[in-house]
């Protein structure tokens, strides 16, 4: 019995809100491609403008997630650094939050295994992203890695290791977040209160930025056709060209209206313009009578929004030692936060503590 009491006490200590009443926020981004406007509007911008100021926040380049599909090791390594550099260029301030690389903190993989022991095979197979990615891998004649199926267990571990209260992500992560909550609740019911049950927070506008060429699918960094994807490091002229060529009307009304069903391409441009300028898409729709003018203004708004980010990125690239130091310190802090809770989880499930 003494053992049970002790592990429950350790678990309770690990669950306590870390810095008084400040919320703990965690989010992650994969280095599986160049970052897009979708990443920025759906997630990063909010991390920069709100989350790092109001909470105890950690932002992680989830490199292990990038190994769930066929990958080139050198490219993942390069993109990991680039992603971290872009997070800093976008305005994450290492004095306010931790920025680090997932594989530098062993607790993620340690806890992921316990999450695999908590989740069921069926609930993993129900994940929409899994089904979509299986279809994509099979279409390319590639085998499906087991880690693609267990991916949400690693994501849950990322989040739960830190006693996270809130996870700011784009809409596409809603299902993974529900699963993470289920796993936290189930684990706590089975073994005692080790984990905080986190909630997802999504942006009000542009929670799902759509591909400019195919506005029924999300702008994703690993889509094959890159013509509809605005990358954060695209040159201004490239951005203009992509936005001007955006698909706007399949119904053929020629009018600018905000209707995601009937005019997904136009609605997407209005969402992007609204997100860049702080307006409301429904109101903006009334200001335009032609697609051309809407596209032109949207292009300029995106170019202006991304300009400082590109400039800062160039500066940071010239100082890789600074980025290294940020990542080193971030990982150290993350390790210190995650280890007690993951140790408590190991003890709670019945694994003998190291002697």
Binding-residue pattern over the window 210 to 229 for ligand AMP, x denoting contact by CB under 6 A: --------xxxx--------
Q: Is 28 in the site for ligand TRP (CB under 6 A)?
A: yes
Residue keyed to tokens 């929409």: 128
The tokens for 105 are 């903190």
User: Which one of the listed residues 221, 242, 295, 296 is annotated catalytic?
Assistant: 221
- Kindly list the distances between the CA atom of residue 157 and the CA atoms of 122, 162, 237, in Å, as whole numbers in the listed order: 19, 9, 41
| CB of 212 vs ligand AMP, minimal distance in Å | 11
Q: Is 172 in the site for ligand AMP (CB under 6 A)?
A: yes
Buried b (16+ CB within 10 A) or exposed e, 105-121: bebbebbbebbbebbee
Q: Which residues pair with 231 in a beta bridge?
A: 36
User: Which one of the listed residues 23, 131, 218, 296 is annotated catalytic?
Assistant: 218
Q: Is 152 in the site for ligand AMP (CB under 6 A)?
A: no
Q: Is 104 in the site for ligand TRP (CB under 6 A)?
A: no
**CB burial class (10 A; 0-12, 13-18, 19+) of residue 146?**
exposed
What does 334 interact with, of ligand AMP, ligand TRP, none (CB < 5 to 8 A by kind)?
Answer: none
Q: Which CB, 67 or 349, lies closer to ligand AMP?
A: 67
Q: Is 38 in the site for ligand AMP (CB under 6 A)?
A: yes
User: Which one of the listed residues 23, 131, 133, 296 is annotated catalytic?
Assistant: 133
Q: Taking a C-beta distance cutoff of 8 angstroms, is the pair 223, 229 a contact?
A: yes
The tokens for 292 are 């051309």
Of 152, 170, 228, 281, the one binding ligand AMP (CB under 6 A) is 170
Q: Is 296 in the site for ligand AMP (CB under 6 A)?
A: no
What does 158 interact with, of ligand TRP, ligand AMP, none (CB < 5 to 8 A by kind)?
Answer: ligand TRP
**CB burial class (10 A; 0-12, 13-18, 19+) of residue 210?**
buried
Is position 242 annotated as part of the catalytic site? no
Q: Is 260 in the site for ligand AMP (CB under 6 A)?
A: no
Question: How many angstroms separate the CA atoms of 196 and 187, rounded?
Answer: 11
Q: Taking a C-beta distance cutoff of 8 angstroms, is the pair 148, 102 a contact?
A: no
Of 86, 159, 239, 337, the one binding ligand TRP (CB under 6 A) is 159
The dihedral through the CA atoms of 14, 16, 21, 24 has a sign that is: positive
Question: How many angstroms separate the CA atoms of 338 and 189, rounded?
Answer: 21
Region of 135-143, 164-172, 276-284, 306-314 interacting with ligand AMP (CB under 6 A): 164-172
With CB under 6 A as the rule, give the number of residues binding ligand TRP.
13
Strand boundaries in 150-246, DSSP class E: 166-168, 199-201
- Please report, in angstroms and rounded to a whole number, the separation of the first and last CA atoms in the chain: 19
The dihedral through the CA atoms of 69, 71, 75, 77 has a sign that is: positive
Of 45, 46, 104, 176, the one binding ligand TRP (CB under 6 A) is 176
Q: Which CB, 44 or 285, lies closer to ligand TRP?
A: 44
Of 10, 14, 39, 150, the one binding ligand AMP (CB under 6 A) is 39
Q: Which CB, 10 or 229, lies closer to ligand TRP?
A: 229
Is position 23 annotated as part of the catalytic site? no
Q: Taking a C-beta distance cutoff of 8 angstroms, is the pair 228, 212 a contact?
A: yes
- State the catalytic residues: 133, 218, 221
* Contact positions vs ligand AMP (CB under 6 A): 29-30, 38-39, 42-43, 169-170, 172-173, 207-209, 218-221
């Amino acid at each position: 019995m003494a053992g049970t009491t002790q592990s429950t006490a350790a678990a309770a200590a690990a669950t306590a809100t870390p810095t008084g009443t400040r919320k703990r926020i965690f989010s992650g981004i994969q280095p599986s491609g160049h970052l897009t406007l979708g990443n920025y509007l759906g997630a990063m911008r909010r991390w920069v403008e709100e989350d790092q100021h109001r909470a105890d926040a950690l932002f992680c380049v989830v490199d292990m997630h990038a190994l769930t599909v066929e990958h080139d090791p050198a490219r993942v390594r390069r993109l990991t650094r680039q992603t971290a550099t872009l997070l800093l260029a976008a305005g994450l301030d290492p004095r306010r939050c931790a920025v680090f690389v997932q594989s530098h903190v062993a607790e993620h993989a340690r806890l992921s295994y316990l999450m695999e022991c908590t989740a069921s095979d069926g609930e993993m197979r129900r994940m929409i992203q899994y089904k979509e990615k299986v279809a994509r891998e099979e279409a390319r004649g590639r085998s499906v890695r087991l880690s693609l199926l267990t991916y949400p267990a690693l994501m849950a571990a990322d989040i739960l290791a830190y006693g996270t209260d809130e996870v700011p992500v784009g809409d596409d992560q809603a299902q993974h977040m529900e699963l993470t909550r289920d796993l936290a609740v189930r684990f706590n019911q089975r073994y005692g209160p080790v984990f905080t049950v986190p909630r997802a927070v999504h942006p009000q506008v542009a929670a799902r930025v759509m591909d400019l060429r195919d506005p029924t699918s999300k702008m994703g960094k690993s889509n094959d056709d890159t013509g509809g994807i605005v990358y954060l490091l695209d040159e201004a002229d490239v951005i203009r060209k992509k936005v001007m060529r955006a698909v706007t009307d399949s119904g053929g009304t020629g009018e600018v209206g905000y209707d995601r069903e009937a005019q997904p391409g136009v609605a997407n441009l209005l969402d992007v313009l609204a997100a860049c300028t702080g307006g409301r898409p429904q109101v903006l729709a009334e200001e335009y009578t032609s697609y051309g003018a809407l596209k032109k203004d949207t292009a300029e708004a995106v170019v202006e929004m991304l300009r400082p980010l590109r400039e800062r990125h160039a500066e940071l690239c010239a100082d890789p030692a600074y980025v290294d130091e940020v990542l080193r310190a971030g990982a150290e802090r993350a390790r210190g936060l995650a280890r007690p809770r993951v140790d408590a989880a190991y003890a709670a499930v019945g694994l003998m503590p190291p002697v």
